[in-house]
Amino acid sequence: MKALSVQNVEVNYYTIKEDNINRKIFKRVKNKKFTALSNISFDIKKGSVVGIVGPNGSGKSTLLKTIANIFAPDKGKIELYGNKVNLLSLGTGFDPELNGYENIFLSGLLLGFSKKFIEDKLEEIIAFSELGEFIYNPIKTYSSGMYSKLAFSIMAILDADILLIDEVLSVGDIHFKEKSYNKILELIKDKKRTVLIVSHTTSTIEELCDEVIWIDNGHIKEIGKTDKVLKNYRDFMKTLKNNYNNN
């Protein structure tokens, strides 16, 4: 059974290019298009744990944000088959002017959960985050560790059908890193849940994932079993590094 289908997806960014002072004064600007994802297609089976690898700027985070409906594709479509999607990514999903308590409700409602469901999970989320009274402070006053603890706790406790994890497999201090990693393992073991993981740590992808999608320059370079794709990807990255060092 499919949990997710991505079909011919293209995502473009547009940046403003100011040619000269006259254009700046009279607001005559050109929009420069950058294609972040091009012709991306794949299907994910329910219960799969899939890694996504690629160099910096290859489009990995853009892909997750498009699946999570933060970005709308310029072409193609994404079918979720009625599944709820939860994206764990630092810098995504919180209103910095609201406090942690309020952001729990904001995140939960955006994910499609009812207020009653969020209320039932509230104390568990706060306890897992270990933020204590800081939960009532504005998010903008949080350290990156506090921010990531809250983001992880919401994702882990407000249990969606599809989890998208973007470079945040272990967060906070040593104690919380161990706790969060164990929670990820617990979530992954439930075959009713589908997980997509973006990480530059290939050893983590190797340990957790059944399959890997390798993205380069916004295109899919390879999809397949973890050991095969990671071997090819590591060889590719080693070649890039050697070429860079020799120039």
Report the length, in residues, of the chain.
247
Q: Where are the domains positioned within the chain?
A: 2-246
Residue 155's pLDDT is what? Answer: 82
Strands in 219-225's sheet, in edge-to-edge order, are 85-89, 162-166, 194-198, 49-53, 211-216, 219-225
| pLDDT tens across the length of the chain (247 residues) | 899 999 999 999 987 655 555 555 555 555 788 999 999 999 999 999 999 999 999 999 999 999 998 899 999 999 999 998 888 776 566 899 999 999 999 988 887 889 999 999 999 999 999 999 999 999 999 988 888 889 888 888 887 899 898 876 656 678 888 888 888 888 888 778 899 999 888 888 999 999 999 999 999 999 999 999 999 999 999 988 787 677 6
Residue 62's pLDDT is what? Answer: 94
- CB neighbour list of residue 220: distance below 8 Å, 6 or more residues apart: 39, 40, 41, 42, 213, 214
The pair of structure tokens assigned to 239 is: 């070649």
CA-to-CA distance for 88 and 107, rounded, in angstroms?
11
Identify each DSSP E strand in the chain by its residue range. Answer: 2-17, 30-45, 49-53, 75-79, 85-89, 162-166, 194-198, 211-216, 219-225
3-state class (DSSP) for residue 162: strand
CB 86 within 8 A of CB 247: no
Residues forming a β-bridge with 41 = none
Residue 26's pLDDT is what? Answer: 54
Fold classified for 2-246: Rossmann fold (3.40.50)
Cα 168–171–174 angle (5° rounding)?
A: 145
Cα 6–84–34 angle (5° rounding)?
A: 40
How would you class 167 by CB atoms within 10 Å of its CB: exposed for 0-12, middle for 13-18, buried for 19 or more? middle
Instruction: Indicate the pTM of the whole model.
Output: 0.82
